[in-house]
């Protein structure tokens, strides 16, 4: 009897995503790119949206999307608010340095 193992999510590098999006920008259809790289068109749409919204910060991590919340936390650390939420004692609170 086969075991029901959870499927592993595929992860793609920033360079790969930019390559696929570059080919589409150069004229390849999104459907063709999806077939060529065994992707879903939905995944490519999400990549396009992320690139449009976050520009050079898009795809900036190992499976962790750059978000407005991450940007806000980074800015708060720069001005001295919430220097390290793990040391504050209350991870959701704004802490003074």
Q: What are the domain boundaries of the chain?
A: 11-64, 67-97
Whole-number Å distance between alpha carbons of 58 and 14: 8
Residue 2 clears pLDDT 90, i.e. is over it: no
Fold of 11-64: Arc Repressor Mutant, subunit A (1.10.10)
47-87 tens-digit pLDDT: 999 999 888 878 876 655 666 677 777 778 777 765 555 55
pLDDT top residue among 36 and 67: 36
Q: Looking at the DSSP assignment, which residues form a beta bridge with residue 81?
A: 96
Has this prediction a pTM greater than 0.85? no
Q: Which two tokens stand for residue 51?
A: 């690139």
> Which residues have a Cβ under 8 Å from the Cβ of 80 and sit 6 or more positions away?
96, 97
Whole-number Å distance between alpha carbons of 83 and 50: 27
């Amino acid at each position: 009897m086969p075991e029901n193992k959870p499927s592993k999510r595929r992860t793609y590098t920033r360079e790969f995503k930019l390559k696929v999006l570059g080919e589409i920008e150069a004229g390849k259809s999104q459907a063709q790119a999806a077939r060529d790289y065994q992707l879903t068109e939905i995944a490519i749409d999400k990549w396009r949206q992320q690139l449009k919204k976050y520009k050079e910060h898009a795809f900036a991590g190992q499976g962790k999307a750059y978000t407005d919340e991450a940007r806000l936390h980074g800015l708060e650390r720069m001005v001295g608010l919430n220097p390290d939420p793990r040391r504050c004692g209350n991870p959701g609170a704004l802490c003074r340095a």
